[in-house]
Structure 1
Amino acid sequence: MPSTVLDVSATPLDVLRTVFGYEEFRGDQAAIIDAVVGGEDALVLMPTGGGKSLCYQIPALVRSGTGVVISPLIALMQDQVDALSALGVRAGFLNSTQGFEQRRETERALLAGELDLLYLAPERLRVPETLALLQQAEVALFAIDEAHCVSQWGHDFRPDYLMLHVLGEQWPDVPRIALTATATRATATEITERLGLHDARSFVASFDRPNITYRVDPKDNPRNQLLRLIRAEHAGDAGIVYCLSRASVEQTAEFLVDNGIEALPYHAGLDNRTRAANQSRFLREDGLVMVATIAFGMGIDKPDVRFVAHLDLPKSVEGYYQETGRAGRDGLPSTAWLAYGLADVVQQRRLIDSSEGDAAHRRRLSAHLDAMLALCETVDCRRVQMLRYFGEESTPCGNCDTCLAPPDAWDGTVAAQKLLSAVVRLDQRGQRYGAGHVIDILVGKTTARVTQLGHESLTVFGVGEELDERAWRGVVRQLLAQGLLGVDASGYQTLHLVEASRAVLAGERQVMLRREPERKAGRSRTKTSGSAAAAAADLSPEDLTLFERLREWRAAVAKEQGVPAYVVFHDATLRAMATERPTSLDDLAGVSGVGAAKLERYGDGVLELLAPE
């Protein structure tokens, strides 16, 4: 049974225009959709905000039957269904949050052919009754979202994904489409193997997110740095702050609230009701900041997140890319900001050395970390470095910190030799110390500890006076990042030489280091506040007034309907309305993001607001 807003002969382009309100497909969307509509399997690697959802939603509306979407995003399924319902698409979900009656009604609608799309949590497929239910239904396709979760070496592994190969075995004639925004070539190969997608067509879009400005700042009281970032550049904006531990999440959220920033915590130690309530508020309200561990937000649908901040170093480039990709899904300017310092490198190296698993596992973790450290330490364009990690070559972006304020590269070989020599001299005495004490020796600082231990008598005492303590900490950090210095896995985090240190000491290896330039304070926003600032940045005063009126109207409608504001219209669509000022329903239908169902539901209200006074 076709969707309520479509005719049975609708083409993919008809669906794009009528249901979703967009005129043309982007990138590989048309080719992907044609392949799936034609019954082929597909593997799709496409960045967040690139339009992955349309690649299975449109085929589900064109093909006969119900599109079944396997997604780990249980907390977001209701919002996904609400967003589709607002477009006139018949959608439902089955997961552990539902009561018996809700599940039974969804199952009845599925078997009656009254659903265009059904969202399923992967663990539901462990239940034999679910497989039996799907066998009775007419399935148009299977979409496996967040497909990188099948990779056991990936950053977001989900054991339940390992059983999804059963879909191809039990429904060999139903096309499958696996999608992810985060996969290296190795991960893509693993997805293909584990899901049995050997004959699938592969589509790899550019991983570039040109609207995101990537920045890495030296860590120096990171909570205060975060506060300055929000106040100067993102006042009133929605944002996500990632921390490594639950305690840090709680403390950071409290710190922001105490300083006038509305913030909520999210981590696995909170009860389910609190987590769900906080996530719901973040999705539905404007200008909230969510402080979270990486448990939060995989695939988060909120389009107007204007910044993602990391107060601790991510473990991999994949994880960093996935998390920062939650910013600017609407294509408007956004910031990915990371505070990074020596303690991050020491901590991550120590965690790897003390981790469970065999040597191969630790080598894989080290490779992930090495790539992340290389991204942090690069003197070249960060975007080029990150895209190269995913197998994509590009040119300098002109929009990351290393492009906007290029750091100096300097020959740090002599400095590295001095520091490594200090470690050697201590080791010769059977002593190992952390970075702080070694630096005190190099700069000739006569602390009580240095004096007590007699370290002022070492030949390396005071040989590093040409650099200050902050600069020496940068040297230590970069030597650790380059694998030229080691740190013990014990709680003392003492420094020691590694095999590669010998070549530096012998003068056989040059060591290039980066010197970060002084950062300029961020500019305050003056035109408008809130998460619409990026959308309104270059609007005329008249258009800006109209844009704000549209946002107020949208907020009232969303509150009345109990849905996030973006379910009504995205900021980009409101911006287009404010600048194009349509005067009829036909004109309004031509605005990007206005489909048939939204035109019918909201058209008169929008035109009334846009009418000249």
Structure 2
Amino acid sequence: MPSSAREILKKYFGYDNFRPQQEDIVNQIVSGNDVLVLMPTGGGKSICYQVPALIRDGVCIVISPLISLMKDQVDALRSNGIAAAFLNSSQSFQEQQAILESCYKKEIALLYVSPEKLIGELTMITQMARPSMFAIDEAHCISAWGHDFRPEYTQLGLLREKFSNVPFVALTATADKVTRKDIVKQLNLRNPEIFISSFDRKNLSLDVRVGVKTKQKLQEIAEFIDVRRDSSGIIYCLSRNTCEDVAQALKNYGINAAFYHAGMPAEARSKVQEEFLKDELQVVCATVAFGMGIDKSNVRWVIHYNLPKNMEGYYQEIGRAGRDGLPSETILYYNYADLLMLNKFAAESGQSEINLEKLNRIQHYAEADICRRKILLNYFSENLEQNCGNCDVCKNPRKHFNGTVLVQKALSAIARMGEKEGASMLIDVLRGSRKAEVIEAGYDKLKTHGVGSEIGAIDWQRYIMQMLNLGIIEMAYDEDFALKITAYGRDILFGKSKAELTVLQPLVKKEKSVAAPKAERYNQEEELFNRLRQVRRQFSLEEDVPAYVIFSDATLQQMAKERPLSPSEMLEISGVGEFKFEKYGQVFLDTISGFMGSTGNLKQKGDTYLETLTLLKEGLTVSQVAAKRKLHEMTIYSHIANLYVNNKIKSINALVSSEEVETVREASRILNEKTALKPLYEYLHEEIPYHKIRLALAVIEREELVN
């Protein structure tokens, strides 16, 4: 076991250096001090407790809210060669006892457990897994002021009193000042060092689109996805019905989408999540229920179909994109109907005052005509001196105009209707509508009836939102959202003040999928990256883990750029540790060297298979072919499987027997599994090796093709 934090970081995680603040946090924990860590999603919070867990004697108990999140983190740790496990209700008593026994024998370094499980079985768990430290993930859940309060977290304060000799680290990606203080208080942390990292995720572009109609919105989103067919994303919706409707609409466009919300059976939710994590599903349309359980590093975009409830939730949700640090996109759609619905939710909530204020802040962000990142970071008490250059406002600076007359028309109509109508009726009156409800109320007789007919209904909505945001008018939530004129608004109405409005941006043009010439679309680096992704996917199927657990997109992109050809060069790639190199490195090296060829020129995709076929026809064994081509034997077996399925090899009976094929066939039928090797390997009690399972599946696939 390496002794220093930096040696551990390199050996197990493949990184030469810590990110800012990580090393200081690790040192504080190793020294036995309590710590509160505020770090953005994708900022490297896990490293902060995983490294000290490998230094301190005992078991690091990690308290995590979701079973799915625990499983992903444990899979990722194991893929790095770190002994980790989790306890949850899906395991049998015997399985749980075996895990605790391993903890007692010091065979496990990190144990993940839910708060209710830990508190419910505290004595047994802590006696067997003698804690070296406690890490409380998603710590904002303990605070009633936080955006995702969870009652089961409130008992965790007892731990600090009971275990006075070990350090506690609380970690969260979103917490304002009030929530931070409450976390420290609720967890009884002892003089904790508080580390607040920058919340500036520079790799995320920020885009807000206001007043887009439903039909156009769906078409825009479909076209946005269509030109990003190789990337996955999440669409957040306010309601369960909207999730289902959007997913169905995208399916109608031929997009591989599914919905996810708390009203679904647990099994159905797990299936969607697993398919998304394994890159088998491109798009998930979800409520915020699809949140903390997502630890997928290669989400390339996040769309908010509706305005979020608050800045904390919005920040955490866009943080699902680009966790690997690569450029990623975020889009927020916002209209007046969202505002009405969210105001109703906030006004009727148990903490109406604070929830309405939080809603005002996200509304201010959405309506902003200055750099959005400045507003977002300011909410988390961080100042950005320069404009970010990576939001829609920076890319298309807003222009302003004297909107006094336009505002006076709206204010006059509001006043003449007795300040008792909402925005929908106001717009109808301004546009001169002859709807029955307008005539019945006598509003067609008002002087202001039709004075704004030259402005479209959607644009009036957008101007009204500006007026709300500027404090010219306000909503009376307890009077069916009637619009009221503020003191500032009266000054404008009576000519004492002027109103400056923002020139409306044209609604976003449709994204066109223009097929670029092949030479422009694919350069060598992109082609190699795609080949490496295919290799990664094969490993992920074999081991039944998400692809990013093998290597992140960022690591593969560096491989494609640097093109390492030796073990020492591969170990220089960020994210390639010693354990992962031993497990996967040679196959990736083989892929890179095969791609480059002796002259460094591109090879045709089939070349590598044909070279293997030629050598086999010359009478060489699999091991001789692997040695001659300097490839891993498993790579050669993969070539043989491909060649057999494509009828380039007539028989592979000498490599896999008919009895082995039938055994795999039966296991495949029972498990309903045709690609992943690991579940079949485990089901067959590890009696049939991986390469034979792969060959047996090739026999079965070819039979199905023939029949």
Q: TM-score, normalised by structure 2?
A: 0.79
* Match in the other structure for 2:313: 319
The answer to whether residue 212 in structure 2 is matched with residue 217 in structure 1 is no
Inter-partner Cα distance in structure 1 for 2:251 and 2:72: 27
* Alignment counterpart, residue 126 of structure 1, candidates 108, 112, 119: 119
Q: Which residues of structure 2 form unaligned runs of 5+?
A: 598-707
* Match in the other structure for 1:347: 341
Shift of 1:82: 1.1
* Match in the other structure for 2:82: 89
Q: Is the 8 A contact 2:34 2:190 kept in 1?
A: no
- 1:369 partner amino acid: L
- 2:68 partner amino acid: A
* Alignment counterpart, residue 150 of structure 2, candidates 154, 158, 164: 158
Aligned ranges for residues 10-409 of structure 1 at < 5 Å?
A: 10-127=3-120, 129-218=121-210, 219-221=212-214, 222-232=217-227, 234-286=228-280, 288-298=282-292, 300-353=294-347, 355-357=348-350, 361-394=351-384, 395-409=386-400
Stretch moving more, 103-112 or 282-291? 282-291
Q: Is the 8 A contact 2:84 2:108 kept in 1?
A: yes
Deviations 1:164-204 (A, max 9, x none): 11121111111111111111122111111111224000111
Decide whether aligned partners of structure 1 residues 356 and 52 sit closer, same or farther in structure 2, where only a CA change above 3 A counts. closer
Inter-partner Cα distance in structure 2 for 1:291 and 1:496: 36
The answer to whether residue 595 in structure 2 is matched with residue 600 in structure 1 is no
* Match in the other structure for 2:690: none
Inter-partner Cα distance in structure 2 for 1:92 and 1:510: 64
What's the % identity of the aligned pairs?
42
Stretch moving more, 137-146 or 56-65? 137-146
Stretch moving more, 162-171 or 449-458? 449-458
- 2:364 partner amino acid: A
Q: Which residues of structure 1 form unaligned runs of 5+?
A: 1-5, 530-536
Deviations 1:535-587 (A, max 9, x none): xx999722222222111111111101111111111111111112222222122
Shift of 1:491: 9.8
Inter-partner Cα distance in structure 2 for 1:413 and 1:39: 62
Decide whether aligned partners of structure 1 residues 373 and 351 sit closer, same or farther in structure 2, where only a CA change above 3 A counts. same
Inter-partner Cα distance in structure 2 for 1:123 and 1:527: 54
* Match in the other structure for 1:532: none
Stretch moving more, 378-387 or 67-76? 67-76
Inter-partner Cα distance in structure 2 for 1:474 and 1:543: 44
Stretch moving more, 574-583 or 500-509? 500-509
Structure 1 or 2, whichever has the larger Rg, is 2
Inter-partner Cα distance in structure 2 for 1:241 and 1:47: 20
Decide whether aligned partners of structure 1 residues 139 and 520 sit closer, same or farther in structure 2, where only a CA change above 3 A counts. same
Q: Is the 8 A contact 1:345 1:481 kept in 2?
A: no
The answer to whether residue 421 in structure 2 is matched with residue 439 in structure 1 is no
Shift of 1:452: 4.8
Shift of 1:490: 7.2
Shift of 1:440: 2.5
Inter-partner Cα distance in structure 2 for 1:367 and 1:404: 29
SS of equivalent to 2:258:
strand
Stretch moving more, 291-300 or 169-178? 291-300
- 1:40 partner amino acid: N
The answer to whether residue 551 in structure 2 is matched with residue 563 in structure 1 is no
- 1:554 partner amino acid: R
Q: Is the 8 A contact 2:220 2:511 kept in 1?
A: no
Deviations 1:106-134 (A, max 9, x none): 1111112111100011111331x333421
Shift of 1:50: 0.9
- 2:343 partner amino acid: R
Decide whether aligned partners of structure 1 residues 405 and 287 sit closer, same or farther in structure 2, where only a CA change above 3 A counts. farther
Aligned ranges for residues 384-533 of structure 1 at < 5 Å?
A: 384-394=374-384, 395-427=386-418, 432-465=420-453, 467-487=455-475, 489=477, 493-497=481-485, 501-507=489-495, 510-518=498-506, 519-522=508-511, 524=513
Q: Is the 8 A contact 1:379 1:409 kept in 2?
A: no
Decide whether aligned partners of structure 1 residues 345 and 514 sit closer, same or farther in structure 2, where only a CA change above 3 A counts. farther
Decide whether aligned partners of structure 1 residues 382 and 47 sit closer, same or farther in structure 2, where only a CA change above 3 A counts. same
Inter-partner Cα distance in structure 2 for 1:47 and 1:516: 32
Inter-partner Cα distance in structure 1 for 2:430 and 2:363: 25
SS of equivalent to 1:168:
helix
SS of equivalent to 1:444:
coil
User: Higher relative contact order at CA 8 Å, sep ≥6: structure 1 or structure 2?
Assistant: 1
Q: Is the 8 A contact 1:406 1:517 kept in 2?
A: no
Shift of 1:12: 0.3
Shift of 1:500: 5.8
Q: Is the 8 A contact 1:237 1:287 kept in 2?
A: no
RMSD of aligned Cα (Å): 2.4
* Match in the other structure for 1:534: none
Q: Is the 8 A contact 1:239 1:307 kept in 2?
A: yes
* Count of residues paired in the alignment: 590
Shift of 1:291: 0.9
SS of equivalent to 2:418:
helix
Deviations 1:295-349 (A, max 9, x none): 1121521001011111111110011000010000011111111110111112222
Decide whether aligned partners of structure 1 residues 370 and 149 sit closer, same or farther in structure 2, where only a CA change above 3 A counts. same
Decide whether aligned partners of structure 1 residues 23 and 538 sit closer, same or farther in structure 2, where only a CA change above 3 A counts. farther
Decide whether aligned partners of structure 1 residues 466 and 545 sit closer, same or farther in structure 2, where only a CA change above 3 A counts. closer
Decide whether aligned partners of structure 1 residues 294 and 569 sit closer, same or farther in structure 2, where only a CA change above 3 A counts. same
